[in-house]
Structure 1
Amino acid sequence: MNAPVRSGAIRQDGSYAWYVVFLLTFAYTVAFIDRQVLNLLVDPIKKDMLLSDVQISLLQGFAFMAAYVVFGPIFGRWVDTGHRRNVLVLGVTLWSAFTVFCGLSEEYWHLFVARAGVGAAEACLAPAGWSLIADYFSRQRLPRAMSIFMLGPSLGAGLALIAGGLVINSVATLAEWFPALSGLSVWQLTFVMVGVPGFVLALLLLTVREPERSSMGGAAQKDEHFTMREVLAFFWTNRAFYLRYFIGLSLLAIVIYGFPTWMPAYLMRHFGADPASVGFRYGAQVLVIGAIGIYSGPWLERWLTSRGYKDAPVRCAMLCSVAVLGCLAIFPFVSSYELTLGVSALINLFYALPWAVAASALQITTPNRMRGIAVSIFYFLISVFGLGIAPSIIAFVTDHVLKDPAQVGISLAAVCSASALGAAWLLRGALTHYRESTE
């Protein structure tokens, strides 16, 4: 499986390239469904297992993140040296199996280990997906292709809530159709039902062909292998850009992961909404608004470029961080359920908007055989900040600072506002270094 396979000429920007993008987007969507469905099941799991918010946050964040960051560099290096399609097939099969195991868990530590398995296997997707897309598309079409791929998290996060709501409302019917599952609780059945489609996806990914490797931008222009020492030396030499860029986007990831993680609980605790209703309404919002934001990113990038900004991908992320900060400032003071959903829609729009062009910028500035490591480092930090820190720090502020579960909206706004401010500041500092790296 490590041997790189040359499949002959595959036309960049062609119809087959777009087929691969849509298939990879489906994979990203499935991954986020498996990852995010836990957010709708917080209270049922707490009730069955007698858990605290902090224990739940460890399932949401640390269990997934710890395995993800350990296996990310392993998969990243494998992507740079091996057959990327085969890496994906293995990863999808494993994370789907572990999602089903989540539903079969009867004790807290069983669920913890299964969540870690999902995280470890999903670490393959971003390095392999980004690297494949960068070789299937020209520099001009790469932002649009990445915007399609980056729809996956929004689609997955929204569909996770919607699918969870459907399962909650269909427990009796599902038990009749699948008698073997009749002994499972609602939350267990939900995990099983969202895990099964991944096995079909693994079979579909066998139709993906390995493209010829290439580089673009200011990176090395030939396909050459690098030792790990050369890879690390490259990132150290260019640390002025990479550190600001990685940490800035990682702080924005605290909003991206922390906000939807605790938003359902806030709606249920503060407004008394039922889980099924939150799943449908908030899930549909995350799905639709997030998709609009991701897909609109390349338009904003092109508009900034037309205005003479050579740093448009990074500037786009900086401006969106400022917009998120403004929305979060008013979020805890909104008094009605409907208006709260309206403000959350704006937050969702602005934090989703820059990610496609941000991903393109990383591919443009990095040599081909270093892209897997670059993406794994990026997702390592995203996971530490977004998956590891965000859910737990919000829960900590709620439990130990405010000491009131009903005040989760205050802790949500405070933590995410501070993160958005830091993101805007660091991304502003990265602008000059991005321009220098692409000249």
Structure 2
Amino acid sequence: MTSPASSDHTAAPAPNLKRAWFAVAVLTLANISGFLDRQILSLLVQPLRRDFGLTDTDVSLLMGLSFTIFYSLLGLPIGRWVDRGSRPKIIAIGAAVWSVLTVLTGSARSYAQLFAARVGVGVGEATIGPAAVSLIADQFPHRRLATAMSVYQMGSFAGAGIAYALGAFVVGRLDVPGRLTLPWGTEIFPWQTVFFWVGLPGLLVALVALLIREPRGESASAQSREVEVPLRDVVRYMRANARAIGALSFGFAFSLSVNFGVGAWLATFLVRTHGWTIERAGLLQGVLTFVVGPLGVLLGGRLTDRWARSGQVDAPLRVGMVAAGGMLVSAGLYPLVPSVALVVPLLVAVNVFAALPWGAASAAVAEVMPPRMRGQGSAVYQLIVNLVAGVLGPTAVAVLTDRVFADPLAIRYSLSILAVVGMTLVLALLGWARPAFIRTVTMLREQAGD
């Protein structure tokens, strides 16, 4: 392992807790907005297939590949920007971009236009992860970091839950024959108006983000340029700590793959396998994600901080492994049981374990990177996690259903296979990462005098 860049000792002291928690609150709102815009498609599979003539695989590419490629790749230059620029301004710009592109999705008239708009949403949302991890980590000590990260990550579950419920409402009320004509003459399907509803509030989030105080100080950009870590030093550090950084990144990537697969196809599974209406399925998914998800992620953060205070340096990875074990059982079983009376309680467990590791995961990324590399480190983590999860999760279920089983009703088996295989890989990778993670984090804490 190599030492972090010599400039890391210049990291600013933590601001007061009121400012720190205000920043977390605004970042949580931004996360809600982003995930609402991202997840709304999962409840629109039926009208998308019918009105745009798409297959399950086509829809999965809208939910995964179109968003993920640019979201992940642009995170790298954005991470470098985060390490030397004003993070509140970066978040505000990103929120404005993803909100405008979500609105434009509502006026799309072809698959190509839908795909292009989703690419734009991914471009905007590429800002939030690196900036949020860096900003929160600068303001909380490591023994409280996972709880703060968990509150921020609650936004992803709240946003997804709202998306599922709102999508179900739209399909139930607005999926009707005919077209609507927009003021500028474009004709759209009535259900497409949901993109206006979820996109426009994000512009308010962009304005509120500007109220966050940059803890680096008023001259943040000038200070950061003076102590900017050369890219070669970042690469050298990551190569020297590849086992810790790489294994935890791929471990959490496979965990998120299962989450994305479940999130994208749960409502369709309930419709095809148990005969539910899309409105009923979406309502259940929305309630579970909105209510149980935030409780699960907060529980994971508190558990991580409790273990960290007891001296467990690898506490974030331990929580990730607990979550993976719970998901392997609950997400592997719920698609296969014969009765909805059994499916629903298993889905409660799925939502707890699916949410449990994400505050811990963000804390792990922040702790394994020196302060002046956190934006770039979280961008690399984001690249790995979202490329793997965004492409593999929804698409693996669709490809298994379309190509392997060639039967829409076999979606239950596709979901179960994804959960069992994915979570087995998570357990193996996080277990392998633990010794290297302990060495790297211990080294960084010793150099910081902690």
Same fold, judged at TM 0.5 (above)? yes
2:262 aligned residue: 259
User: Which of 161, 166, 180 is the aligned partner of 2:164?
Assistant: 161
Larger displacement relative to structure 2 (324-333 or 93-102): 324-333
Q: Is the 8 A contact 1:286 1:345 kept in 2?
A: no
Contact 1:67 1:120 in 2 (8 A): yes
Counterparts of residues 355-434 of structure 1 (less than 5 Å): 355-434=358-437
Query: Residue 243 in 1 paired to residue 246 in 2?
Result: yes
Q: Does 1:200 align with 2:204?
A: yes
Please give the residue correspondences for 1:7-26 in structure 2 after superposition, counting only pairs within 5 Å. 12-26=15-29
In the alignment, the residues of structure 2 paired with residue 400 and residue 140 of structure 1 have an alpha-carbon distance, to the nearest angstrom, of: 47
> Which runs of 5 or more structure 2 residues have no equivalent in the other structure?
1-11, 218-225, 443-450
Alignment of 1:78-97 (within 5 A): 78-97=81-100
Query: Number of residues paired by the alignment?
Result: 420
The answer on whether the counterparts of 2:149 and 2:301 sit within 8 Å (CA) in structure 1 is no
- Give the TM-score taking structure 1 as reference length: 0.91
Matches within 5 A, 1:311-330: 311-330=314-333
How far apart, in 1, do the equivalents of 2:162 and 2:107 lie?
A: 21
Contact persistence 1:334–1:340 (CA under 8 A)? yes
In the other structure, the counterpart of 2:348 is 345
Structure 1 residue aligned with 2:9: none
Please report how far the alpha carbon of residue 141 of structure 1 lies from its aligned counterpart in structure 2 after TM superposition.
2.2
User: Is the 2:86–2:214 Cα contact (8 Å) retained in structure 1?
Assistant: yes
Instruction: Say which is worse superposed, 27-36 or 85-94, in terms of deviation.
Output: 85-94
C-alpha displacement of 1:303: 4.4
Return the letter of the residue paired with 2:206. A
What does residue range 89-108 of structure 1 map to in structure 2 within 5 Å? 89-108=92-111
Picking from 183, 189, 192, the partner of 2:193 is: 189
State the alpha-carbon separation in 2 of the partners of residues 185 and 159 from structure 1.
Answer: 21
1:50 aligns with 2:43: no
Conserved 8 A contact 1:282-1:341: no
Q: Which runs of structure 2 are paired with 1:281-300 in the superposition (5 Å)?
A: 281-300=284-303
Task: For 1:96 and 1:394, locate their aligned partners in 2 and report how far apart those are by CA, in whole Å.
Answer: 28
1:326 Cα deviation after fit:
1.5
CA shift for structure 1 position 144: 1.4
> C-alpha separation between the residues in 2 aligned to 1:399 and 1:329?
20
- State the alpha-carbon separation in 2 of the partners of residues 391 and 366 from structure 1: 30
Residues of 2 paired with 1:332 and 1:16: CA distance? 44
Give the match's secondary structure for 1:211: coil
1:244, distance to aligned residue in structure 2 (A): 1.1
Alignment check: 8 A CA contact 1:75 1:127 kept: yes
State the alpha-carbon separation in 2 of the partners of residues 179 and 436 from structure 1.
Answer: 59
Match of 2:135 in 1: 132
User: Cα distance, 1:350 vs. partner?
Assistant: 0.7
Aligned to 2:54, the other structure's residue is in SS state coil
8 Å CA contact retained: 1:328, 1:347: yes
**1:3 aligned residue:** none
Deviation of 1:306 after TM superposition, in Å, equals: 6.2
Counterpart Cα distance in 1 of 2:104 and 2:234? 37
Matching residue's letter, 2:32: T
Deviates more, 1:302-311 or 1:326-335: 302-311
Which blocks of at least 5 consecutive residues in structure 1 are unaligned?
A: 1-8, 214-222
Deviation at 1:169, TM superposition (A): 4.7
Measure the CA separation in 2 of the matches of 1:151 and 1:410. 29
- Residues 133 and 309 of structure 1, relative CA distance in 2, 3 Å threshold: closer
* Equivalent residue letter for 1:187: W
Q: Deviations over 1:236-265 (max 9, x none)?
A: 001121111111111111111111111111
Moved more, 136-145 or 250-259: 136-145
Q: CA deviation at 1:331?
A: 2.1
Q: Is the 8 A contact 1:247 1:381 kept in 2?
A: yes
Distance 1:204 1:170, change over 3 A: farther
The answer to whether the 8 A contact 2:297-2:355 is kept is: yes
For 1:269 and 1:389, the matched residues in 2 are separated by 22
Cα RMSD (Å): 2.3
Paired with 2:306 and 2:77, the residues of 1 have a C-alpha distance of 38
Give how far 1:341 is off: 2.2
What is aligned with 1:216? none
> What letter corresponds to residue 143 of structure 2 in structure 1?
Q
Query: How do 1:116-131 and structure 2 match up within 5 A?
Result: 116-131=119-134
Contact 2:327 2:350 in 1 (8 A): yes
Rounded Cα–Cα distance in structure 2 between residues aligned with 1:13 and 1:432? 34
2:63 aligns with 60
Which is further off, 136-145 or 427-436?
Answer: 136-145
TM-score by length of 2: 0.89
Q: Secondary structure at the match of 2:215?
A: coil
The answer to whether the aligner puts 1:110 opposite 2:109 as a matched pair is: no
Structure 1 residues 170 and 85, CA gap change in structure 2 (3 angstroms): same
Cα distance per residue 1:78-136 (max 9 Å; x no partner): 10121111111111111001101111001010000000110111000000111111112
SS of corresponding position for 1:333: coil
Q: 2:439 is matched with which residue? A: 436
Q: Which whole-Å CA distance do the structure 2 matches of 1:187 and 1:105 have between them?
A: 12
